[in-house]
Structure 1
Amino acid sequence: MKTINKIFTLSLIAALGFLQSCNKFLDVNPDMRTELNSVEKVAELLATAYPQASYITFTEAMTDNAGDKGAGTVEIINSAPYRFEDVEDINRDSPTNYWNAAYAAIAAANHALEAIEKAGDDPAYRPYRGEALVARAYAHFMLVNFFAQPYDAATAATNPGVPYVTEVGKVVIGKYERSTVAETYNKIEKDLLEGLPLLDNAAYKKAPKYHFTVSAAHAFATRFYLFKKEYEKTIEHADQVFVGGDIASNLRAINSEAYRSLQYYELQAQYTRAENPANLLLAEAPSVWGRNYAFYRYSLTNDILNELFTTSNVTDGSWAYNIYGRETTLNIPKFREHFVRQTLNAETGIPYNMVPLFTAEEVLFNRAEAYAELSRFDNAIKDLNDFASKRIIYSFSIPIYVPELHSITDRKLLAFYKTADLKRATIQCVLDFKRVDFIFEGQRWFDIIRHKLPVTHKTSDNETLVLGVNDPMRVFQIPQEAQSSGIELNPR
């Protein structure tokens, strides 16, 4: 694993900043940095142009994937989101930490772009300019979807977005405006479309899965356009992720004999391996999620397990996922922790997780939903069947997928979801499959905000907590420290 002991860091009141473990926004002069005077140095800098922080802890706890076990590890980064409260913690796995890390990534991208501009028309920089633009777009996209209202064409021009930073900071404290969600999205799209044609996979021979390759950038585009409800573009980009538009053969074969034969720690390692074709973009993030998610009090409960995994689904088959643990430790192994010691013989260090930012599964789901929205139901159902063929078995005693029994049809969808609306049933099936497949990955939150789904949480002392579709707590609070840069906080 590539280890980065020092990273470029930016909040909105600092340009370049501090060591990773520091909580201040500025510890060193922003101009105290390595001179970027070669292609190699720019390429190395761009390794830090991806948010080196995990959003999973605070998003997963906000979703309907989490319940109250009544016992377990209690940390504010898990408990506050479950209770739909602001997370006061500013350290790793918190919204504030993600905000800082995302703007750190943006700072790195901006420094790279500045250096590339100074280099003139040297074609050797072309793919790195593309990577910097797409990475900058991605970091802003994540920020606007956590810290602003989700995109809605009717309100995007008036809802506050997030500051879109395109220049290298030259002062310790600068003033920034949030602009609007529409303006933020326009700038994201501009960077994405300008950067994508410049990408060249040959630039990333050593560690391609940690960079925006062509495939990863198209995968990002499918998510972006799905949020914008531009479904033809979602499909167009999905078809370009893999050669010939073949997503199915790159999905994780969870129901295969080979996969089912893996032991717990082998499964942990396999899920986020760069060699796994399903993983399109990975990022290393300092995080304790991998060691704690099975033990957090607010996580997968028996009731949610039954709802998602053991009750019937539209295929009439069984999910092939192996679920481990007891009542208070239920989990699916997905994250193997990498612990980096501060020195060779040190007892202290930094825990890292490899986080899948984009996967073949998401691309397939995004395309299937887009097909359904366009009433191209045969295509949507084919994608759903391709997914089911990698996840469904007859039973654990007969662990095989039987197309004649398990194939999804329009009749099955209408009957299972008890509706005469095939579009509604197909989209609901996509969302249900995603909820199951991405459990413990925080992805469910994106569907909750996109589709304006309410969330109800119950506590072990019979308290009912409801996150309504217009609840201001659906938007994470901008860090208090950003106020000194003139950033307005979100309403509470």
Structure 2
Amino acid sequence: MKKLRLTLSLLVLIGITTSCDDFLSEVPDNRTQLDTPQKISEILVNAYPQASYMDFAETMSDNAFDSENLTGTTIKNSQNYNWEELDDVQRDTPSFYWDACYSAIAHANQAIEAIDKLGNPANLNAQRGEALMARAYSHFMLVSIFSQRYNPATAKTDLGIPYILQPETVLLKKYTRNTVEEVFDNLEKDIELGLQFVGDDYDQPKFHFNKAAAKAFASRFYLVKGDWDKVLANSDNLSSQPDGKLRSIIGYNLLDTTTRFNIYSQASENSNLLVVSTSSLYNRTIRSNRFGLTGAERNTVFGTATNLFNKAWLYSSFSSNGSITIFLPKFVEYFKYTNANAGIGLPYVTNVLLSNEELFLNKIEAHIMKNELSTANAEMEYFLSTRTTGFSPTADKVTEARVVAKYPVVADEFTPFYSLTPVQASYIKAVAELRRIEFIHEGLRWFDIKRFNLKVTHKIYNKPNNVLVKDDLRRAIQIPLYVTNTGVEKNPR
């Protein structure tokens, strides 16, 4: 593998908005002062990427359409929609997210090193578990975005991302861009060890890798790897009817508009397992982007035809421009003033990184792949009952015949690295549609498009369609230009 040179300021960015000069003027060894549990806990607050992937991931998916609102056209939104390398490196871009992830990894590594130097005392087990899970999460998101999908047949040679296991102590260091297989091996080690130690003793547990969040992340990781037993082992805290653990869409619809926007990402919401405050403008751009969820295409995602029972979904949407573009109430901006007198500050949006909804759908998918269809039927039926208008417990039953009829097998459509029987293919398609609808705007659809190798067609007003074919090299977002300019190998195109 090719040896690479990465500058410290690019790979381990302690402050993603800090200038290069300011960064290089910092004392490089201040991490050696992490000599108490309190200090280690404080640094772990920053071990989570304070940037959002949701805008660019969602725009690349088949949840985005051309509203033909030419006045809403922006370079960034257009480049995302066309799977192009972005010129922009500011908020809500792959470059910004790359920096935020490696900054989070740097903080996690500093905490791990400090714990090691203290002799790994038992009273720091929870911090060690959190640091390991946080390090794994950022690396997992990076490899999911900047590499091709995980496939054990090609993972030995597919380009991954640098997996950083130690804090940086020199300005220039040689790195290897690990293969996808090496990244996944390291991820599994961090996750398995982290699960042993992670705890729940936090003032605000939803902002940390608590036990439930750690298991939810592990379920996502093992879903991608195709280890169905471990997916189920990490979702055992959800029954087949997890009453009170999924967000109540019916209850949301009874709330006033302001509360509906606020509640989705709140730590007090039972279904939310891990939330993070991100430097993001997504609450603004989701309302005005030319390429996004449009009123004209609402039924493509939320029409009765996408419901197994051919009934209306309970999800409701809003619009700021006469339904040219529409959005669900998931994001609220908090503007943090850095200079109140001058009106200067930074916008933040809280993102839900892990939830019981995702964990439950992962569980259903694992049951399908283990051919435990009766269990999958019961779980899908429960999920649909909480999201379907006029659900009838007697008439609206999930059966194999119903799923196969609703989601017929299309040749060469869903092609994960593992094989699917025709019945499994229909069920997997059904669950993928549930996940698509549930996590609209949140970017998770893009990761399903990658792991199932789905074709995406983006229509463009007065131009030919842009098609992302199977195994398209553009599925691996290009490494940021300012990083590749230092010698890091680019993703092939």
Q: Structure 2 length as normaliser, TM-score?
A: 0.91
Which residue type is aligned with residue 247 of structure 2? R
Matched, 1:94 2:113: no
Structure 2 residue 309 is matched with structure 1 residue 315: yes
1:5 aligned residue: none
Opposite residue 432 of structure 2, the aligned amino acid is: L
Residues in 2 aligned to 1:162 and 1:375: alpha-carbon distance in whole angstroms:
34
Q: Percent identity?
A: 37
| Pairing 1:225–2:222 present | yes
2:299 to 292, 306, 313: 306
d(CA) in 2 for partners of 1:123 and 1:489? 43
- The corresponding residue for 2:346 is 350
Q: Aligned to 1:61, what secondary structure does the other structure show? A: helix
Q: Deviations over 1:424-463 (max 9, x none)?
A: 2111110111111111111100100000001100111142
Distance 1:149 1:355, change over 3 A: same
Give the deviation of 1:18 after TM superposition.
5.5
Give the letter for the 1:438 counterpart.
Answer: F
Correspondence for 2:195 = 196
Residue 488 of structure 2 corresponds to 487
What are the within-5 Å matches in structure 2 for residues 128-277 of structure 1?
128-202=127-201, 204=202, 206-240=203-237, 242=238, 247-254=242-249, 256=250, 258-277=251-270
1:416 matches 2:406: yes
Query: Unpaired runs of 5+ in structure 1?
Result: 1-9, 395-400
Match of 1:430 in 2: 431
Alpha-carbon deviation of 1:484?
5.8
Letter in 2 for 1:156: A
User: Superposed, which structure 2 residues align to 1:24-39 within 5 Å?
Assistant: 24=20, 26-29=23-26, 31=28, 33=30, 35-39=33-37
SS at match of 2:275: strand
* Match in the other structure for 1:291: 284
Mapped contact 1:14–1:169 kept (Cα < 8 A): no
Shifted more, 121-130 versus 162-171: the winner is 121-130
Question: Which digits, 9 at most, give the CA deviation of each residue in 1:123-142, with x for residues without a partner?
Answer: 22110011101110111100
C-alpha separation between the residues in 2 aligned to 1:433 and 1:139?
26
The 3 A distance-change label for structure 1 pair 44 and 18 is closer
Q: 1:289, 1:353 within 8 Å by CA — same for their partners in 2?
A: yes
Structure 1 equivalent of residue 451 of structure 2: 450
Is the CA contact 2:8–2:170 (under 8 Å) kept in the aligned structure 1? Answer: no
Q: How far apart in 2 are the matches of 1:68 and 1:15?
A: 35
1:6 corresponds to? none
Say if 2:333 and 2:349, in contact at 8 Å, map to a contact too.
yes
- Aligned partners of 2:383 and 2:8: how far apart in 1? 41
The one-letter amino acid of 1:336's match is V
Supply the RMSD in Å over aligned alpha carbons: 1.9
- SS of the equivalent of 2:467 reads strand
In the other structure, the counterpart of 1:367 is 363
Superposition deviation, residue 261 in structure 1: 1.4
Report 1:8-157 matches (<5 A).
13-14=9-10, 17=13, 19-22=15-18, 24=20, 26-29=23-26, 31=28, 33=30, 35-71=33-69, 72-157=71-156
Amino acid at match of 1:112: A
Q: What code does the residue aligned with 1:332 have?
A: L
- What per-residue deviation string (whole Å, max 9, x for no partner) do you get for residues 217-255 of structure 1? 000011100100111111111114x5x67645311111x
Q: SS of 1:267's equivalent?
A: helix
Indicate the SS of the match to 2:382. Answer: helix
Q: CA separation of 1:246/1:165 partners in 2, compared to 1, >3 Å: closer, same or farther?
A: farther
Shift in Å, 1:112: 0.5
Question: 1:441 aligns to what?
Answer: 442
- 2:13/2:102 contact within 8 Å kept: no
What is the match of residue 389 of structure 2? 393
Given that 2:248 and 2:386 are in contact with CA atoms closer than 8 Å, whether structure 1 keeps it comes out as: yes
Which secondary structure state, in structure 2, belongs to the residue aligned with residue 249 of structure 1? Answer: coil
Residue identity in the other structure for 1:382: A
Q: 1:17 to 1:436 in 2, by over 3 A?
A: closer
Match of 2:3 in 1: none
- Report the secondary structure of 1:316's partner residue: coil
Compared CA separation, residues 382 and 23, structure 1 to 2 (3 A): farther
Judge which range, 67-76 or 441-450, deviates more.
67-76
Q: 1:383 to 1:30 in 2, by over 3 A?
A: farther
Deviation at 1:487, TM superposition (A): 1.9
Separation in 2, partners of 1:427, 1:488: 35
Give the SS at the match of 1:87: coil
